[in-house]
Amino acid sequence: MTVQLQIDPITRIEGHMAVNITVDSHRVIEAHSKGEMFRGFEVILKGRDPMDAQQITQRICGVCPVSHGTASILAQDAAYGVLPTENGRLLRNLILGANYIQSHIIHFYQLSALDYIDITAICQYTGRDPLLQDLKSWVESGQKANVLYPAAPFLPRYDGDYIPDTELNLSAIHHYLKSLEMRALAHQMGALFSGKLPHAASLVPGGVTEVVTAHKIAACKSMLTKLRQFIDSTYLPDVLAVASAYPEYFEIGKGPKNLLSYGVFSEKDATTFVPDGVWMDDRLHGFDREKITEDASHAFYRANQPFAPDAGETQPAPDKKGAYSWVKAPRYDGHVFEVGPLARMWIAYKKQPSSDIGIWMGRLLDRLDRDPADLFSTMGRHATRALECKLVAQRCEQWLSQLKPGESACNDFRIPETGVGIGLTEAPRGALGHWLKIKNHKIHRYQCVVPTTWNCSPRDGKGQPGAVEQALVDTPIGDEKNPIEAVRVVRSFDPCLACAVH
């Protein structure tokens, strides 16, 4: 029997996303992913001072603002012909690194873990930790109350095969609460050099408006040490525990198996710590930014045909026939690609097997006791995200040690009358690009192509479903009233619809 299901909303926070799935004999046979709002940042930016762009685009999102700020200043660096000083380059890496750490931690604990961990285990808690005691009374009073949203955001939830081991659940719930402190600490670490966070004040073309002092380096080092301890002793082991409890999720949620990375965290030799690359048809290809296009055949925008981003338009058409999402459909060389930590770690592993990332990917696969191709999956996304968090935090310590107190962190520049610039980076959720055109010293055109736009895109003009739409197909659904399996697949991508529709 065929059943149509609508899961709406499907994201825990991060904007409004819905998926419609067709289930036949307890298996998903078709999926549509929908972004359900319009925001219009690309329209708002037109006619403004180009220097406003890194501030305005950061407001696209509260989870990955640093990435938008970074893409914007990289586009402006190119348009103004300026490069950051050495301190500026390192500070940009550290601010973005801190943002990655908080984003990956919040994604696992707050946005995904409770799809596996049984929050109701808290009712068995008999210890004296005040945080857990508080949580216990909150969940119990919610369970007793006859209301629509008892104990939100924990209940209601789908029924499902949650972890049965009470001790494991209680320790993970404790880590859920601890991770909130760690996320705050990662923000404080980034704010040492960014003025404030989540929206960084100090990111500018030519570098970072911050004075490097020995005191700040020491403060950053101490925060980073605590974060690294949490990642190594808590986050990674929790992900590995969930992975061993749910081995079937290495088979579920495969996706298009085409992976894309623009490369991120600039190194001294003009390379990047995480390399760029394209994985398609089971092999590695060089990345060529000219092959990026956006299609809006099934999105609520006026023009349909694939445009290169520097010629792209954002003209809303809410009544358009055949459209079902406010998310456009980015494509690379006309093909569908998945972006994010899985893409980055996989491409680094294949391109630079003897680099730190390559070596740690080998260790991760040994530890998981899995074939490499099993990483193209729901659990593979969680595992590579956690590994990336560890490796970025580790590398931050080295960047920190290279800072030179007292030396300048930014170079001067002048905004030209006309100019163009492209800023390509990697946000925690994947490949992010800003395309800028300046005329009469003002922004003439601004287009953003965003990670979740890649992952959650609708079908394109050729009818090719987007990455999440492909990943959902074949997902087993045990109970159609509780499609927890589909939810786990979608959330493994860490979708942010606020970003996707921008």
Nearest to 377 by CA among 350, 410, 338, 405: 338
CB of 247 to Mg ion, least distance (A): 38
Q: Does 451 bind ligand NFE (CB under 6 A)?
A: yes
Tell me the C-alpha distance between 213 and 464, whole Å: 52
Pick the closer one to ligand NFE by CB: 120 or 470.
Answer: 470
Residue 427 binds ligand NFE (CB under 6 A): yes
By the rule CB under 6 A, 277 interacts with ligand NFE:
no
* Contact string 59-78 vs ligand NFE (x = CB under 6 A): --x-xx--xx----------
Q: How far is the CB of 54 from ligand NFE (least distance, A)?
A: 13
- We find the least distance from the C-beta atom of residue 42 to Mg ion, in angstroms, to be 6
User: Binding ligand NFE by CB under 6 A: which of 252, 450, 467, 472?
Assistant: 450
- The smaller minimum CB distance to ligand NFE, of residues 433 and 483, is found at 433
Residue (403 or 497) nearer to ligand NFE, CB: 497
Counting contacts by CB under 6 A, is residue 491 touching ligand NFE? no
Task: Annotate 125-190 with three-state secondary structure.
Answer: CCCCCHHHHHHHHHHHHHHHCCCCCCCCCCCCCCCCCCCCCHHHHHHHHHHHHHHHHHHHHHHHHH
Amino acid at 259: L
Minimum CB separation of residue 308 from Mg ion in Å reads 12
**Partner from ligand NFE, Mg ion, none binding residue 448, C-beta < 5-8 Å depending on class:** Mg ion
Q: Which is nearer to Mg ion, 299 or 448 (CB)?
A: 448
Q: Could you tell me which of 139, 145, 150, 149 has the C-alpha nearest to residue 117?
A: 139
CA–CA distance, 384 with 364 (Å, rounded to integer): 8
Residues near Mg ion (CB under 5 A): 448
CA angle 390, 352, 422 (to 5 degrees): 80
- What single letter denotes the amino acid at residue 459? R
Q: Which of 170, 231, 403, 432 binds ligand NFE (CB under 6 A)?
A: 432
Residues with Cβ within 8 Å of 442's Cβ and at least 6 positions away in sequence, in order, are: 47, 48, 49, 50
Which of these, 89, 109, 107, 111, lies nearest to 99 by C-alpha position? 107
In the list ligand NFE, Mg ion, none, the entry touching 256 (Cβ below 5 to 8 angstroms by class) is none
Element (H, E) at 274: strand 272-280
Nearer to Mg ion, 339 or 448 (CB): 448
Work out what residue 258 binds among Mg ion, ligand NFE, none; the CB cut-off runs from 5 to 8 Å by kind.
none
- Which residue ranges make up the site for ligand NFE (CB under 6 A)? 14, 61, 63-64, 67-68, 427-429, 432, 450-452, 496, 498-500
